[in-house]
Structure 1
Amino acid sequence: MMNNNNILQFPTAAQSSRDGRLLIPARFTEARLAARLTQTELASRIGVSRQAVSSYEMGSKQPAPEVLLQISEELRQPLNFFTKPETETFGRQTANFFRKKGADTKRRDQACEVYSKWFARTVYAFDHIANFPKVDLPSFEPAHTQAEGYSDEEIEHYAEETRQHFGLGLGPISNVIRLLETKGVSICRFEMPAENVEAFSYWVGERPFIFLASDKRSAVRRRFDVAHELAHLCLHRWVGEEELDDPQRLKRIEAEADHFAGAFLLPRKSFPNEVYSTRVESFVDLKARWKVAIQAMVYRCKDLGIFDERQIVNMYKQISYKKWRTVEPLDSGVTAIGFEDPILLKRVAELVFKSGRYPVDELKADLALSGSTLEQLLGLDEGSLTRRTDVRWEPTLK
C-alpha cells in the first residue's frame, strides 16, 4: 500500500515521468550502496528481478512509476534524489583511510564512500554562506622513499611539529575535535548500525574531512580515533588507492597513524615525567588528566622504553585480571569522561536556518537528500529537518 505521507511530501513517480525527470543510474546506485543492499536484495524488496535492477543501474531501462516510488521508499531518499544530478563539491576526493579492507568489508566500504561524498557536498552547500575556518594542517612526507614509510623518530618529530604548528604546549589537549574544527577540518558523526567502522578520513580538493562512524562507548577511544585520522591527513595525503589495497602496506600505514596519535596525545617530553608506577591503578588518574585509554598509555610506555618488556607484559596481565580490556575506569557511570562531538557544522546550520539565509526546504532541494540523512551529517537533533517546514525553523532543544 502506498504511503500517504510520501505522496504529500514528494511528487509521484508518474509526475516525475511526465516532467521528463528520469532516474539517473549513478544516483540509484549511490542510494543502494548507502543502504548496504545488493542488487538481488533490493530487487526482492521492490518486487522486480535482479536483472531489472541491473538494467536501471546501467541506464538501459527506466523503472515504472510505481517501482520508482517503491525504490524511493525502500532506499529512504526522496524521489528528487534519483532524478537530480550530483551537486558540486570542493574538488577531487582522495582515497578513504579504512583500517581494514577486503572482501568482508566491501559492502561497508562502498556505503562509507557514498556517505563521504554526501558529507563533502553538504559542507560545500554552506561554503558560500558560512565563513569556515581556514585549513591549517601541516603536511609531511618520509625522509627516504615513500615505500619505506616513516621511521619511529620521524613520527615522534612530526607529532611534535604538529603540536607546535597548532600552538599547543606539552600538556593534555582539552578537546581534540574542537581543536581540529578550528583548523579547518570538517567532522561528522554518522552511526552505521551493525558495522565495525571506527572512523576514516579523506581530502576533497583542499578540504580535509573526518568521518566518525562508530558508536564507541569510550570517549577516550573516540579521541584516539580522531588523532589517528589527523595522522592520515598530515602523513598520508600522498598515499594512493593501490597502496591501501596492499594488506601489508595498509598495516604499516595504520601502525604509523597509531604511533602518531600516541605521540600527539602523549608527548615524549612531558608524559613520561608523570608515570611513576607499573601498577595499572596508578594510570587511572593519568587517564582523567590526559583523556587517553589506560591500554594506550601502557603501549606508549612501551614505545618510549619507560618500562621493559617483562613489566609491560605484567601490566597487560593486570588489565586482563581486572577485566579492563573492553571497559576501563572512567569509561562509564557518573565518573565517565565526557564525549567530544563535532559542533561547528551544527552551529553553522542552526544560525543559517534561523536567519533565513538558507531555508531548510532550499537545502533539501539543493542536495536532494532525506531530512534524516542531513540531520546526521549536520549533527542536528533528530526531527530537526523532518518535521513540518511551513513554520519558522527553530532548533530542537533538549
Structure 2
Amino acid sequence: MFNGRVLKELRLLNGLSRAELAQRINLTEQAIWQFESNETKPKLSTKMHLANQFHVDLTYFEQEEESVRFDSSVIAFRNADLATRKTIDIQTMYLHKVDSLIDYFESFVIIPNITIHDLSNVVSESYHKGESIEELALYAREKLGISKDNHDLLYKLERSGIYIVERLINGQADAYSAWSKLGRPYIVLGTNKSSVRRNFDLAHELGHILLHKYKDMNEDGDRLEQEANYFASCFLLPKEEFLVKFEERVGKRVSNPDSYILLKLDLNVSIQALEYRAFKLGLLTPKQHSYFYRQIAQKGYKMIEPLDDQIFVKKPSKVKSILDVVLSNHLVSLATIMSKQSIRLQFISEIFSVEMKFFDQYQEDRRTDRFDNIIPLYKRNNL
C-alpha cells in the first residue's frame, strides 16, 4: 500500500517542489506527480529512497493524510509572503504536522496554567468594542507579566500556552502565527533574526493572535498588519516608561542611530523599532525621521545593527521541556515514539529545530514504557 497524498505532504513539509524532489532521487517530475496522484506506485527501492530522504519509515507512506488542522486563510503571513501559493502550502503543512505531533506529546502530560485563552477572549471582545490597541497592548503586557526590559518575552509567551517553534523558512517568508481549529495558538519564527528583531516578531504575532483570531487574513490584510505592528510597538515600549528612558538615553540626538544603542540594550528592542515608536509619539519631526533612515542606510544598520552579535538569541524550549518530562519519566520511550509515528529521530529534530544531541541522554534507556498514568507538566527550570 502506498498513499501518494502522504508523499505530497512530506514534500511540502520539506519545502520542495516536485522538480526539486525528482532531482534529489534521480526521477522525473512527472513520476513524482504520478506517485502523488496515486496514478502509479513506486518500486520498493524508490520508496526506500524516499523514506531516507524524508527520515521516515516505509510504513509512513501507508498512513492516511493529515487531517485539516488549520485554515490557510487565517494564518497570519506577512504580506510579502502571500505572493506564492507554494509558500502558503508549505507553511500550512508544517503547522499541520507540528500540531499532530504536539497532540501526541500532550497525551502524556497535563499542561498547567494556560492563560492565553482567557487573555484572548478579553482582548478580542474589547477590540471589537473599539478599545484602543495601545490600551489592549498594555493590558496584555500586564497580564503576561513581561519584564521591563522584555528579556523574558519568549518564555512568558510559551508559559501562557502559545506554542513557539522555529525553522528555516523558505524564500521571503517571515515569522507567522495561527490558531489551530481546535484552539491551540502557534507562532513560527525564522532562524535568521537577531534577538531584538525576534522580540518584535514575537510581539507582532502576539498581536495577531489576540486581535485577529480566526480572521481571514486575505481581507484587508494591510490594515491587519499595521494593527499588529502598532500592537507590537506599544506592547514592547509602553509609552510612559519609554518617554523617561528615551530622555535619559537619547536626549536631543534623535536623528543619530548610534544614540539609540544604550536604549536598545536597556529594552531589547531594535534601534529602528525604538526610533519608530519615538516618531509616532512625536519625539521626532518628519524631517528628523527621514534623516535617521538615511543614516541607517549609510551606516549599514538596515539588516545588522550594533550589539546584534552580542545579545543572546533565546530559543523556544516548551517542546523540549515536554519531551524531557515524557522521556525522563519513562511515560514512553524514544523508540516507541518513532515506531508509533513511523518516523526517525532526525524527523523530530528537524521539525522542531531540536539538536540531535538533546536526545543522547534518552537513547540508552530501555526500560518499559509506563501507561498507568498521565503526569502534570509543572514549571521546570527551562520552561
Answer whether TM exceeds 0.5 for this pair. yes
Pair 1:157-2:135 in alignment: yes
Aligned twin of 1:199: 175
Aligned twin of 1:231: 207
User: CA 1:47–1:163 in structure 2 vs 1: closer, same or farther (change >3 Å)?
Assistant: closer
93-102 vs 341-350, greater mean Cα deviation: 93-102
- The runs of at least 4 aligned residues of structure 1 exceeding 4 Å deviation read 86-89, 91-94, 101-104, 141-144, 383-393
75-84 vs 267-276, greater mean Cα deviation: 75-84
User: CA-to-partner distance for each residue in 1:285-314, whole Å, 9 max, x for gaps?
Assistant: 111110000111001111212222122222
Write the letter of the residue equivalent to 1:340.
K
CA distance in structure 2 between the aligned counterparts of 1:83 and 1:25, rounded to whole angstroms: 9
CA distance in structure 1 between the aligned counterparts of 2:224 and 2:341, rounded to whole angstroms: 34
The offset of 1:68, in angstroms, is 1.6
Pair 1:261-2:232 in alignment: yes
- Greater relative contact order (Cα < 8 A, sep 6+): 2
Q: TM-score, normalised by structure 2?
A: 0.82
User: CA-to-partner distance for each residue in 1:33-58, whole Å, 9 max, x for gaps?
Assistant: 12333334434444544443323222
* SS state at 2:215 partner: coil
User: CA 1:385–1:61 in structure 2 vs 1: closer, same or farther (change >3 Å)?
Assistant: farther
CA distance in structure 1 between the aligned counterparts of 2:52 and 2:41, rounded to whole angstroms: 17
CA distance in structure 2 between the aligned counterparts of 1:265 and 1:211, rounded to whole angstroms: 19
Write the letter of the residue equivalent to 1:121.
S
User: CA-to-partner distance for each residue in 1:238-288, whole Å, 9 max, x for gaps?
Assistant: 312xx42x5xx2222212111111110001122112212214333111111
Write the letter of the residue equivalent to 1:273.
V
Q: Say which of 306, 309, 313 aligns to 1:339.
A: 313
Aligned twin of 1:275: 246
Aligned twin of 1:15: none
Q: TM-score, normalised by structure 1?
A: 0.80
Aligned pairs for 1:213-232 within 5 A: 213-216=190-193, 218-232=194-208
Aligned twin of 1:298: 275
CA distance in structure 1 between the aligned counterparts of 2:38 and 2:360, rounded to whole angstroms: 31
Write the letter of the residue equivalent to 1:96.
I
Q: Say which of 123, 137, 141 aligns to 2:102.
A: 123
Aligned twin of 2:188: 211
In the alignment, structure 2 segments of 5+ residues that lack a partner are 368-383
Contact 1:187–1:209 (Cα < 8 Å) also in 2: yes
User: CA-to-partner distance for each residue in 1:305-359, whole Å, 9 max, x for gaps?
Assistant: 2222122222223333332222211111xxx111111112212212321222111
CA distance in structure 2 between the aligned counterparts of 1:55 and 1:33, rounded to whole angstroms: 16
The offset of 1:224, in angstroms, is 0.7
Aligned twin of 1:108: 87
Contact 2:155–2:316 (Cα < 8 Å) also in 1: yes
The offset of 1:179, in angstroms, is 0.6
Contact 1:330–1:337 (Cα < 8 Å) also in 2: yes
CA distance in structure 2 between the aligned counterparts of 1:74 and 1:389, rounded to whole angstroms: 23
Aligned pairs for 1:1-398 within 5 A: 22-86=1-65, 95-100=74-79, 105-137=84-116, 138-139=119-120, 140-141=123-124, 154-168=132-146, 171-192=148-169, 195-204=171-180, 205-216=182-193, 218-240=194-216, 243-244=217-218, 249-276=220-247, 277=251, 278=254, 279-332=256-309, 336-385=310-359, 389=363, 391=365
Contact 2:80–2:172 (Cα < 8 Å) also in 1: no
Contact 1:77–1:369 (Cα < 8 Å) also in 2: yes
* SS state at 2:110 partner: coil
Write the letter of the residue equivalent to 2:176.
F
The offset of 1:106, in angstroms, is 2.9
The offset of 1:226, in angstroms, is 0.8
User: Would you say how many aligned residue pairs link Structure 1 and Structure 2?
Assistant: 355
* SS state at 1:314 partner: helix
The offset of 1:143, in angstroms, is 7.5
User: CA 1:50–1:314 in structure 2 vs 1: closer, same or farther (change >3 Å)?
Assistant: closer
Contact 1:87–1:367 (Cα < 8 Å) also in 2: no
CA distance in structure 1 between the aligned counterparts of 2:160 and 2:303, rounded to whole angstroms: 32
The offset of 1:382, in angstroms, is 2.2
In the alignment, structure 1 segments of 5+ residues that lack a partner are 1-21, 394-398
Root mean square deviation of aligned Cα: 2.9
* SS state at 1:54 partner: helix
User: CA 1:93–1:373 in structure 2 vs 1: closer, same or farther (change >3 Å)?
Assistant: farther
User: CA 1:387–1:105 in structure 2 vs 1: closer, same or farther (change >3 Å)?
Assistant: farther
Write the letter of the residue equivalent to 1:355.
N
37-46 vs 358-367, greater mean Cα deviation: 37-46
CA distance in structure 2 between the aligned counterparts of 1:55 and 1:77, rounded to whole angstroms: 21
CA distance in structure 2 between the aligned counterparts of 1:133 and 1:102, rounded to whole angstroms: 35
